[in-house]
Amino acid sequence: MLAGLRLVSAALAALALSFAIAPGTAVHIRNNASPVTVPFARRVNATGIAKLLEVDRARAKSFKTGTRAAATPFQQNAAADVPVTNQAVDYVMTVTVGNPGKNFSLLIDTGSSNTWAGSRPTENPFVPLLGSASLPMNLVAVEYGSGSVMGIEVTDTLTFPSGLVIQKQSMGAALVSTGFTAVDGIIGFGPVGLTCGTLILGSSCIPTVTDNAFSEGSIPERMVGFSFAPTSTLDNTNGELTIGGVDDSKFTGPLNFVPITSTAPASQFVGIDQSITFGSPTGQTILPMTAGITDTGTTLLLIASDAFATYQSLTGGVLDPATGLLTITPDQFANLQSVFFNIGENSFEFTPNAQIWPRALNTAIGGTPGNIYLVINDVGTPTGSGLDFIDGMTFLERFYYVFDSGNNRVGLAETQLTRAEIN
C-alpha cells in the first residue's frame, strides 16, 4: 500500500530533477457562484512574555529585504537575522484538507500567499497521500521573518466550514518549519506574485486559494473581504472572511477602493498609499503620503521611524522596555486625539481608544495591568523605504477590509465599531 507513505524520500529524489508546476489558470463560466462566508478567530497567547513588537518587526524586515522565497532548503533563516518566536496574536480559521479530510488551524495571512500545513507534526500531522503530490514533485520554501517553512508541494482538496470546496489546491506539506507551533500552517490570501520563486525547482507561481476558488467556478470574483471586531477577550471567534465578495452587513459607510500602490516593494503586497495626520484630516502630518502595506499577519500598526518620532512627541508617550510599546498616562490618554489615515479620497478616523492596546490583555504582551500602551510603533526604517507602514490587525479591526486581487485594489469601509470604546 502506498497510501499514507511519507513523501520525504520522494521529495529528495525530486531535487535531482528540474521541472515546475503548471499553474491552473483555466477560467470556467460561473453559474450561480456566490461569495462564501467563513468564520475565523483571534487567539492571544497569554503564556510567557509575548514578543509582539519583535515578531512584527521581524516580519516587516523580511518584507523589505525580500527574503520570503527561501532559495536553499533548511537554511531559510540565514538571510533574515531575526529570532524565531511564536506569534503572540493569531488570526486563524479551520480548513479541512483532503477527502475524507483532516482539520487544520491555519493563520490567515494577506502578507503572504502560499498555503501550507503540518507545522505541528506531533499534535496534528499533515501526512499527504503519495497520490496527492504535485507531479512533477517539487519542494516549497517560504521565509516569514519570524518563521519559515520548507515542505513538499502537494495538490489536495480544501473544504471551508461554510461548504466552499477547492478541488485542487497546490499547497505545502511541511517537512521543517519554525515559528508556527501555535498553528498548523498558513492560508495565504495575498497577491499570487508572492508565491513566485517559492518552489525550489523552476520559477512558476502557485495559484492562491482565491485564484483556485475562482478558476474552479465556485466564487464570482477574485476578492476577499475581512471583518473582525476589536475585542478585549483572549480568544474570540468574531471574525468573518468572505471569499469571492463582501458581506454588506459588516460595514456601515461606503466601501472605498484604492489601487495597489505602484511603489516597490509595497507594490508586491496588499500595498496602498496613505498619509497619517493628527487631530483632523488636515491636521499635523505624522506620516507624509507614502507607500506601505495592509497585513492581517501583523498585529501592530508600524510606521516609519521619523513618523513614529512625531507621533511619540504628539502623544507624550514613553517607550516601555518590557513591551517595546509607547505607554501614556491616564491624563495623556484623556487628551489624546484621533489620528486620520488619508487613503485615496477618504480619511479614516482612528480614535484614541483604537490607538491603545486592549487593557484587559496587557499581561498577554508582557505589560503591566492598568498601563496604557499605544499600538502605533516604529517599522524600523525612515520614510522613503518603499514600505513605510504596515496597517496590521489593530488597524484592520476597526474597518471592513477587502483585497480585490482580480482588480488590484484594496477596499476599506467604516463599521459599527470604528469609533467604539472597547480597549
List of residues contacting ligand NAG (CB under 6 A): 45, 47-48, 50, 86, 94, 96, 101-103, 161, 181-182
The active-site residue, picked from 295, 378, 388, 404, is: 295
For ligand NAG, the closer CB: 41 or 314: 41
Strand order of the β-sheet with 326-328 is: 318-319, 326-328, 372-374
320 in catalytic set: no
Smaller CB separation from ligand NAG, 32 or 47: 47
- Closer to ligand NAG by CB, 48 or 279: give it: 48
Instruction: State the cell numbers at 31.
Output: 453559474
Query: What's the min distance (Å) between Cβ of 301 and ligand NAG?
Result: 22
Q: Is the peptide bond before 265 cis (omega within 30 degrees of 0)?
A: yes
> ∠ at Cα 84 (156, 45), nearest 5°?
80
CA 63/CA 266 separation, integer angstroms: 8
Residue 390: which of 266, 227, 226 has the closest Cα?
266
Distance CA 57, CA 277 (A): 23
Cα–Cα distance measured from residue 367 to residue 157, given in angstroms and rounded to the nearest whole number: 42
Cα separation of 298 and 296, whole Å? 6
| Catalytic residue list contains 184 | no
H/E segment holding residue 340: strand 339-343
Residue number, 65 or 236, with CB nearest to ligand NAG: 236
Give dist(CA 205, CA 197) in Å, integer: 7
Contact 122, 42 (CB under 8 A): no
Closer by beta carbon to ligand NAG, 25 or else 47: 47
Strand partners, 39: 240
Q: Report the nearest approach of ligand NAG to the CB of residue 101 (Å).
A: 5
Residue in 268, 218, 287 with CA at minimum distance from that of residue 405: 268
Q: How far is the CB of 404 from ligand NAG (least distance, A)?
A: 27
| Beta strands 165-178 and 376-378, pairing class | unpaired
- Residue 251 C-beta: closest distance to ligand NAG, Å: 25
Close Cβ partners of 56 (under 8 Å, ≥ 6 residues apart): 298, 299, 300, 302, 377, 390, 392
Q: Which of 90, 109, 273, 404 is catalytic?
A: 109
Q: How far is the CB of 58 from ligand NAG (least distance, A)?
A: 15
**Closer to ligand NAG by Cβ: residue 20 or 182:** 182
**Residue whose grid cell is 495591568:** 369
CB of 63 to ligand NAG, least distance (A): 23
Residues labelled catalytic: 109, 295
